[in-house]
Chain A
Amino acid sequence: MSLSFKRVIDTVTLGSDRPIRRLLAYYIILGGVFAALLYFFPVVGQIASGERLEELTAAPQILQDGLTSGAFQSQAARLPSSVQLALTTTLCIVATLLLMLPVTWVYMSARRTKRHNQSVVETLIMLPIVVASIILIVRNSLALAFSLAGVVAAVRFRNTLRDTRDTVFIFLAIGIGFAAGVQAITVGAIASVIFNLVLLFLWRTDFGRNALVTTASAQQWAEPLKLLAEGDGHGNGNGNGKGNVAVHDHDIVLALSPQKVDALAARFDRVRRIAGRKKPRFNALLSFTTEEPAVVQPALEETLGRYTKRWMLDEVVSSEGKPTEVSYLVKLRKSMPGDALMAEIRSVVGSKLTACDIELSDALEEETEAETGKASG
């Protein structure tokens, strides 16, 4: 049953998983079913007549002709008032159930925290049924209303809800129950539709969020955003985990809405496209440690000048009691790959180095691997 209903919803939404589309599809199907019932069984219209609310019907209203239509018999066969009351009550309660179901779906899914209170979900289903029944019983009787107030005061069912949003949902449940009770289910239906759509919109846009507080929708983006902040997201980094994207405050990034993430990613892509037109000036990082930097550096720089396209001193880190760390950015020649360069360097200043290493960029590594593969193949 639920599967076939899901299939119907899938068909109407063209297979979309977007909650707003699915919600609208549900309401459209519900409205269609109600319209069909109204067409074939006009008595169903009683729950939307607002009869209890205003006790007025539309005018002009053409009366049946008792002389020619022989309608006495058909009118006499009208439902007894007790049956009609039972039918109206049943319809009102079923209507509240159908209108509250999507509200519970939205309550369970569109929320900031991961967990929801199951008892609230059950309350959202049951409360309007109870409220509608009470309103149907109380009708317009002041005495019954006072009696009800007395009974309620005696029961003492008050409870404090943790989340303000839960309270709003409870209010909606009461409102829909009232609407059904006064046979103005149209009001309840409109309230249900607009409430759900507004709530989904607020949830989707993270309306009113605190920029430094991680939101529910931001949480699902947490990992990609973390990568983005580190420079690996959306292809913005240079592949070595230390991207060229300067995002210093990860909390702010994690609080971004999906739309802002997309905008940021698009911006990074644009920058990458513009900046990436030229080939990178350097494609390898040469680093070594030595006890005699004053001797090693001139000899090494001469070697680099001879065997690389270009080079640049990147960093020199000197520490008391430790060997000096030196880094060079280099652009390798195709004729002189990294390993060959390392061999040449070791042959020139190898005795004075305590450690030496070369890190190749992704592109260069891929090229090297490909060439190695060809050679071995």
Chain B
Amino acid sequence: MTRRRFAVTALATCVAASACRQADAARTARADSSMLAQRETRLEQSLSQPDTAAKDSTTADRKAIARWIMPRNLDELSGIALTHDGRLLAHGDEKAQVSEIDYRRGVVTKQFVVGHPTVKADLEAITIAHGFVYLLASNGTLYEFQEGANGARVDYTTHDTRLGKECEFEGLAFDSTLNALLLACKHVGTKHLKDDLVIYRWKLEGGGDRLSRLTVPLKDIVGPIGEKHFHPSDITVDPFTGDYVLIAGIEKAMVEITPEGRVVFARKLPGDHDQPESVAITKDSILIIGDEAKRVPAVLTLYRWP
């Protein structure tokens, strides 16, 4: 075979391979589309059928209806929150990179970053209020910004709650009734509050009196879950009742309290959560619990709610 023939043959092979690859890509796209439709159908069916495994209305014995394994850049999944129109936003622990996840089909649909350069902090929780997204750092600093488009980089403003010495924060939610952000305290710094579950309320409007505190005696919580303490990892507001739902990563437990501080229930989470760090409840009756990567990759697990 002459060199010229060899070159022509190689070129033809490359063209043919390229065509095959394109056809393969089209087939893959069709397969993906079909798979996503199947996922959504499966979720709908799970939601419509009664959960025979559940002994009561809590999640303790609930079977997961979906579980999505997070990509590598969301290994340190630290917080999740739902937008007003029901889209799920998630963020990592160290960098202010926000991802939008279609929790019904298991697709990351959008990602954007906050700040020029990207904000780096010990970010623990996220919530949305009045069209603004808030990220909470463990020292009580709030980063406020507007949701960005895919691949965008958005500007932000910071709010210092000056509560860094009071406690180490891990949870953030928005109580629309009070028009206040709820900041759940994981480790309380104040001695006389050591035996309480502490939640700070930070009103979005107001002057000097915008900060208030909700305390719940830990003894009302730790008894039912059989633990000595309860360290909240995240907090969310039940869209049906307005109650506060908190989860604890260390104790792998969940508690629901009323805005007045009465404990509705306290239960263990299902046993296969590795490191639950975030929680959200959707308007279509789904409880979403996010686990940070530890022994296994980060996952989002969906349960029926309530």
Query: Which A residues are closer than 8 A to B by beta carbons?
Result: 11-12, 14-15, 51, 54-57, 59-67, 71-72, 75-76, 78, 140
Q: Are A62 and B32 in contact (CB under 8 A)?
A: yes
Is B117 part of the contact surface with A, judged by Cβ < 8 Å?
A: yes
Interface string of B141-178 (1 = CB under 8 A from A): 00000000011000000000000000000000000000
Smallest CB-CB A-B distances: 10 pairs? A66-B67, A64-B69, A61-B108, A63-B106, A63-B68, A75-B297, A60-B107, A14-B3, A67-B67, A60-B109
Q: Are B295 and A76 in contact (CB under 8 A)?
A: yes
Q: Are A55 and B67 in contact (CB under 8 A)?
A: no
Q: Are A63 and B70 in contact (CB under 8 A)?
A: yes
Q: Are B120 and A140 in contact (CB under 8 A)?
A: yes
Nearest-CB residue, chain B, relative to A14: B3
Residues of B within 8 A of A54 (CB): 113, 151
Known pairs A64-B68, A65-B39, A72-B296; A59 contacts B150 (CB<8 A): yes
Residues of A within 8 A of B101 (CB): 63
Instruction: State in angstroms the CA–CA spacing of A51 and B300 once bound together.
Output: 23
Residues of A within 8 A of B70 (CB): 63
Q: Are A66 and B97 in contact (CB under 8 A)?
A: no
Nearest-CB residue, chain A, relative to B6: A11
Instruction: State in angstroms the CA–CA spacing of A65 and B65 once bound together.
Output: 11
- How far, in Å, is B51 (CB) from chain A's closest CB? 15
- How far, in Å, is B238 (CB) from chain A's closest CB? 25
- How far, in Å, is A16 (CB) from chain B's closest CB? 10
Quick one: which of B67, B110, B118 has the most chain A CB within 10 A?
B67
Pick from A60, A63, A140: contact of B69, CB below 8 A.
Answer: A63
Q: Are B118 and A55 in contact (CB under 8 A)?
A: yes
Residues of B within 8 A of A12 (CB): 7
- How far, in Å, is B284 (CB) from chain A's closest CB? 18
Instruction: State in angstroms the CA–CA spacing of A59 and B100 once bound together.
Output: 10
Residues of B within 8 A of A140 (CB): 117-118, 120
Pick from A14, A55, A56, A66: contact of B299, CB below 8 A.
Answer: A66
- How far, in Å, is A1 (CB) from chain B's closest CB? 22
Residues of B within 8 A of A66 (CB): 67-69, 299, 301
Nearest-CB residue, chain A, relative to B32: A62
Is B73 part of the contact surface with A, judged by Cβ < 8 Å?
A: yes
Instruction: State in angstroms the CA–CA spacing of A72 and B36 once bound together.
Output: 19
Q: Using a CB-CB cutoff of 8 Å, which residues 23-73 of chain B contact chain A?
A: 32, 35-36, 39, 64, 66-73
Nearest-CB residue, chain A, relative to B108: A61
Q: Are A63 and B71 in contact (CB under 8 A)?
A: yes
Q: Are B120 and A55 in contact (CB under 8 A)?
A: no
Q: Are A57 and B297 in contact (CB under 8 A)?
A: no
Known pairs A56-B151, A57-B73; A63 contacts B107 (CB<8 A): yes
Nearest-CB residue, chain B, relative to A69: B69
Instruction: State in angstroms the CA–CA spacing of A228 and B91 once bound together.
Output: 75
Instruction: State in angstroms the CA–CA spacing of A51 and B35 once bound together.
Output: 28
Nearest-CB residue, chain A, relative to B97: A55
Q: Are A75 and B296 in contact (CB under 8 A)?
A: yes
Is B4 part of the contact surface with A, judged by Cβ < 8 Å?
A: yes
Residues of A within 8 A of B301 (CB): 66
Instruction: State in angstroms the CA–CA spacing of A12 and B6 once bound together.
Output: 9
Q: Are A63 and B108 in contact (CB under 8 A)?
A: yes
Q: Are B68 and A59 in contact (CB under 8 A)?
A: no
Can you add 17 more A-B contacts, CB < 8 Å, to A57-B71, A62-B107, A65-B67?
A: A14-B4, A15-B3, A55-B95, A56-B97, A56-B112, A57-B108, A59-B108, A59-B151, A60-B108, A61-B108, A62-B32, A65-B66, A65-B106, A66-B67, A72-B69, A75-B296, A76-B295
Instruction: State in angstroms the CA–CA spacing of A62 and B106 once bound together.
Output: 6
- How far, in Å, is B107 (CB) from chain A's closest CB? 5
- How far, in Å, is B276 (CB) from chain A's closest CB? 14
- How far, in Å, is B68 (CB) from chain A's closest CB? 4
Q: Are B73 and A55 in contact (CB under 8 A)?
A: yes
Residues of A within 8 A of B150 (CB): 59
Q: Are B111 and A59 in contact (CB under 8 A)?
A: yes
Instruction: State in angstroms the CA–CA spacing of A51 and B4 once bound together.
Output: 41
Residues of A within 8 A of B39 (CB): 65
Nearest-CB residue, chain A, relative to B120: A140
Known pairs A56-B97, A56-B151, A62-B106; A75 contacts B111 (CB<8 A): no
Instruction: State in angstroms the CA–CA spacing of A12 and B11 once bound together.
Output: 11
- How far, in Å, is B102 (CB) from chain A's closest CB? 8
- How far, in Å, is A184 (CB) from chain B's closest CB? 15
Residues of A within 8 A of B117 (CB): 140
Nearest-CB residue, chain A, relative to B299: A66
Residues of A within 8 A of B69 (CB): 63-66, 71-72, 75
- How far, in Å, is A7 (CB) from chain B's closest CB? 11
Interface string of B283-306 (1 = CB under 8 A from A): 000000000000111011100000
Instruction: State in angstroms the CA–CA spacing of A46 and B4 once bound together.
Output: 36
Q: Are A56 and B111 in contact (CB under 8 A)?
A: yes
- How far, in Å, is B269 (CB) from chain A's closest CB? 16
Residues of A within 8 A of B95 (CB): 55
Instruction: State in angstroms the CA–CA spacing of A12 and B68 once bound together.
Output: 47
Known pairs A12-B7, A62-B32, A64-B68; A57 contacts B106 (CB<8 A): no
